[in-house]
Amino acid sequence: MKKIVLWTFLSAVLSSGVTNAEEPSVPQFAAIFQMSTTDQAAVAGAFAQFAKSECRKSMPTAIRIMSEFFNGDEDVTHSIIWNFEDAQAMTSSFAALGQCREWADVSASLTENADFKSQQLVRTLVAGGDYTKDTAYVVWQLNIADEAAYVSAYEKLMEAQIEGNYVNGAYGLWRVQGGANSDVTHIAFAGAENMETLLSGSDPSKAFIAFQKKVADIRKVHRMNINAVLADL
């Protein structure tokens, strides 16, 4: 029954809305820090102050805070995503934090108000659409046994979905470059302009049904979450 429900919801998300024909905007790397907090206002406020600083403005990164609304029994309330165009942007951004007084204030707030649960470095394998226009996402934590075969099947799926006007918002597949475990080796996502659009859907396309059958032996879905953008900084 769980597999049927998962299949139905996944197909609905990938089959909702209209084509997003814009060039991919998803950067090459992202560092994802997941945490649990009971004081969202304090954490968000600290990051908002940091965003106004000159040191933040000089960093070649885009920071996004996500609220993890529906994530089952996972003990995570928020994810902080640092996006980087390349490895140099990542190393220079994190190196600058040590010289930034405003970041010290963020660190103090996080120490007091948050409990970090995981840290992952991901690399984009496939992506499409403009993620900056999306506010809600479905996220799949995956275990993939054959990356090359899965990427090939995923690319063909998305080409067919776009051609059939099934795709709304940005989409992508990440490899977990650092922080992977036996459960999660890759992460996939599909975005939408808002939660209503994300949850609207239709019957699965023929391409999606074929994709499900093709990857059944090389992919396991560890967890499927829904989250929403709290802030872009």
Work out the burial of residue 43: count CB atoms within 10 Å of its CB; fewer than 13 is exposed, 13-18 middle, 19 or more buried: buried
For residue 229, give both structure tokens. Answer: 């953008």
Which pLDDT band, with edges at 50, 70 and 90, does 181 fall under? Answer: confident
Higher pLDDT among residues 11 and 130, named by residue: 130
Q: Identify the CATH number of the domain defined by range 2-232.
A: 3.30.70.100
Share of residues in the chain with pLDDT > 90 (%): 82
Q: 78-84 and 62-70 as β-strands: parallel, antiparallel, unpaired?
A: antiparallel
CA distances from 31 to 124, 174, 203, 207, 209 (A): 11, 11, 34, 32, 32
Angle between helices 40-51 and 101-113 (to 10 degrees): 170
The domain locations on the chain are 2-232
pLDDT tens track for 60-103: 999 999 999 999 999 999 999 999 999 999 999 999 999 999 99
Global confidence as pTM: 0.88
Mean pLDDT of 177-194: 95
**pLDDT exceeds 80 at position 39:** yes
**pLDDT exceeds 70 at position 12:** no
Provide DSSP, 9-21: HHHHHHTSS----
Share of residues in the chain with pLDDT > 70 (%): 89
